[in-house]
Amino acid sequence: MGKLIIVVGNTGVGKTTLTRQLCQQGGFAGGLEHQVERPFQQRFAEDLARYALPNQVDYLLLRAEQEQAIRRQPEIGIQDGGLETDFWLFTQRFYQKGYLDEAGYQLCARLYTFCRQQLPPPDLIIHLVAPLDVIAARYAQRNRSLEIAQLDDLAALEALLTAWLT
């Protein structure tokens, strides 16, 4: 069974950059976010309340499927964020902001719990940290065609990350 490393941290801290570099330099299998290719991401950006639930269910399933594929390989795999980040940061933040109602949040929580019961936890968690002003500057400079989390979410996401890790 393959080993799984996840790289966690706030939006814009460098998770995807580090994951790509480790995969290229170390020959690790990668599990990236693929935000543009997700079927509900654009619709979610256009109608936050309507598409929050299918978007989050899609992301949680994607990350569980990536983990499962990594675990089947002999080499070590690395995910940028992974199942944990998509649940503990983004699902919870979208619930806080009212994009997910209570029933939608509870469905995501059940799905996360079920997936985690079926899959072993990550073997290693790399936590990237940077001051919020540095993250905000990086976030503002990155050139993604689609962003759901906003600059004003960074402090709340950092608090959610800290709460999950402690």
Reported as a single tens digit per residue, the pLDDT across 22-57 is: 999 988 988 776 665 788 888 888 898 999 999 999
- Residue 66, SS3? helix
pLDDT at 63: 93
CATH number at residue 133: 3.40.50.300
Q: Which domain holds residue 21?
A: 4-165
Q: Which helix (H) or strand (E) holds 69?
A: helix 48-72
pLDDT at 39: 84
The yes-or-no verdict on residue 14 having pLDDT over 60 is yes
Contact predicate 153/11, CB 8 Å? yes
Q: How far apart are CA 116 and CA 113, in angstroms?
A: 5
Q: How confident is the model at residue 140 (pLDDT cuts 50, 70, 90)?
A: confident
**One-letter amino acid of 156:** A
pLDDT at 30: 84
The yes-or-no verdict on residue 70 having pLDDT over 80 is yes
Entry pTM: 0.89
The token duo for 19 is 């994951």
Q: How far apart are CA 136 and CA 52, in angstroms?
A: 24
pLDDT at 8: 96
Q: Report the number of distinct structural domains present in the chain.
A: 1
Sequence length of the chain is 166
